[in-house]
Amino acid sequence: MINIPINANVELMCIIVNSGAASKLIKSAKHHGIKGATVMLGHGTVNSRLLNFIGLSDVRKEIVLMAAEEERAERVLNQLNHEFEFEKPNHGIAFTTPVCGIFGTKSIVCDDPHIEQGADKIMYHLIITIVDKGKAEDVITAATQAGSKGGTIANARGSGIHEVSKLFAMEIEPEKEIVIILSEVERTEAIVESIRKNLNIEEPGNGIIFVQNINQTYGVYK
């Protein structure tokens, strides 16, 4: 069970590491007070020319998602950065983004997602794009044309052959791909617009894009 006080400010921690590193990272996070985690498989898309931006190359990745109250999330992520040295190339990237609620093991509604109070310190956005399988590279290409330095692709799966899950009213079946891009705030609008135009996102069934503020970042390089 997630042990987070009611009405706490909650952060989602996202850490992207090379394949095989997630288990050690989760073990360390639990030692520091994190109760659980979810791991998704993906692969990086940054070529060698752009590698210094986020330290990701075109290799298999593990995407670790963990939730905690804001103070704990900041402390744990700082400790994980000290242990795993995200600032070094190919050691991964880590960031936090505000969560306005958690439902499931324990229902939590945040009293204040601090969107406004943190606005002056926001330097990065998280751009999530969900498209049909095979279209993720087109998303990366469109984003790169607008100044993105690359991203991470994860496969999305339904819960069964005859079942689908929905995110923002869009079906996510085995044929979907999720593209995760970390963008400098001043580049976000251009990147999103490029993806929208090149992928015809407004056409029904072509995909969805959503953007979130990023608070802490580790392992991100300009």
With both helix axes pointing from N to C terminus, report the angle between 136-145 and 185-199 in degrees, rounded to the nearest 10. Answer: 130
Q: What is the pTM of this model?
A: 0.71
Q: State the DSSP H helix or E strand holding residue 188, giving kind and residue range, or none if neither.
A: helix 185-199
By percentage, how much of the chain surpasses pLDDT 70?
71
Give me the residue label for tokens 């005859």.
162
Same domain, 131 and 94: no
The answer to whether residues 130 and 77 belong to one domain is no
Closest CA to 127 of 219, 207, 19: 207
Task: Report pLDDT for 69.
Answer: 87
Using pLDDT thresholds of 50, 70 and 90, give the confidence band for residue 160: very low
Please report the pLDDT score of residue 41 as a whole number: 85
Write the burial class of residue 92 (CB in 10 Å: 0-12 exposed, 13-18 middle, 19+ buried): buried
Residue 219 lies inside a defined structural domain of this protein: no
- Name residues whose C-beta falls within 8 Å of residue 112's C-beta, 6 or more positions apart in sequence: 9
Residue 115 lies in a domain: no
* Judgement on whether residues 14 and 105 belong to the same structural domain of the protein: yes
Q: Is residue 17 part of a domain?
A: yes
User: Residues 128, 105: one domain?
Assistant: no
**198 is in which domain, residue-wise?**
122-214
Say if residue 161's pLDDT is above 70.
no
Domain shared by 204 and 179, yes or no:
yes
Averaged pLDDT for residues 126-144: 91
Q: Of the candidates 119, 120, 89, 94, which has an alpha carbon nearest to the alpha carbon of residue 13?
A: 94
Domains held by the chain: number: 2
- Whether residue 98 is found in the same domain as residue 164: no
The answer to whether residues 67 and 140 belong to one domain is no
pLDDT value of position 28:
95
H/E stretch holding 57: none
Within-domain flag for 94: yes
Cα–Cα distance measured from residue 58 to residue 146, given in angstroms and rounded to the nearest whole number: 20
**Domain CATH number, residue 166:** 3.30.70.120
Joined tokens for residue 12: 């989602």
Q: Are 78 and 163 within one domain?
A: no
Same domain, 38 and 90: yes
Average pLDDT, the chain: 78
3-state secondary structure of 155: strand
Statement to judge: residues 35 and 82 lie in one domain: yes
Largest interatomic CA distance in the chain: 46
* Torsion, Cα of 181, 66, 154, 46 (10° steps): 40
132 occurs within a structural domain: yes
Among 41-45, 120-124, 125-129, name the most confident range.
125-129
- Quote the tokens at residue 68: 């905690």
The alpha carbon of residue 164 and the mean position of all alpha carbons in its chain are separated, in whole angstroms, by: 22
- 203 and 139 together in one domain: yes
End-of-domain residue from the set 109, 139, 154: 109
Q: Where are the alpha helices (DSSP H) in 32-168?
A: 51-54, 70-84, 136-145
- 5 lies in a domain? no
189: pLDDT strictly greater than 80: yes
Q: Which DSSP helix (H) or strand (E) runs through 30?
A: helix 22-31
222 is a domain residue: no
CA angle in degrees (0–180, nearest 5) for 160-165-166: 165
pLDDT for 37 equals 87
Please say which residue of 88, 109, 130 terminates a domain. 109
Same domain, 136 and 84: no
Q: What are phi and psi of 204, to 5 degrees?
A: -55, 130
Is 80 exceeded by the pLDDT of residue 114? no
Residue where a domain stops, chosen among 51, 86, 109: 109
pLDDT band at 165 (very low <50, low <70, confident <90, very high): low
Could you read off the pLDDT of 39-81 as tens digits, one per residue?
888 877 655 444 444 444 457 889 998 988 889 999 999 999 9
| Residue 174, in any domain of the structure | yes
Q: Is residue 103 over pLDDT 70?
A: no
pLDDT for the residue 73:
92
Distance separating alpha carbons of residues 214 and 189, to the nearest angstrom: 15
Backbone angle region of 46, left / alpha / beta, with phi > 0 → left and psi within -120 to 50 → alpha: beta
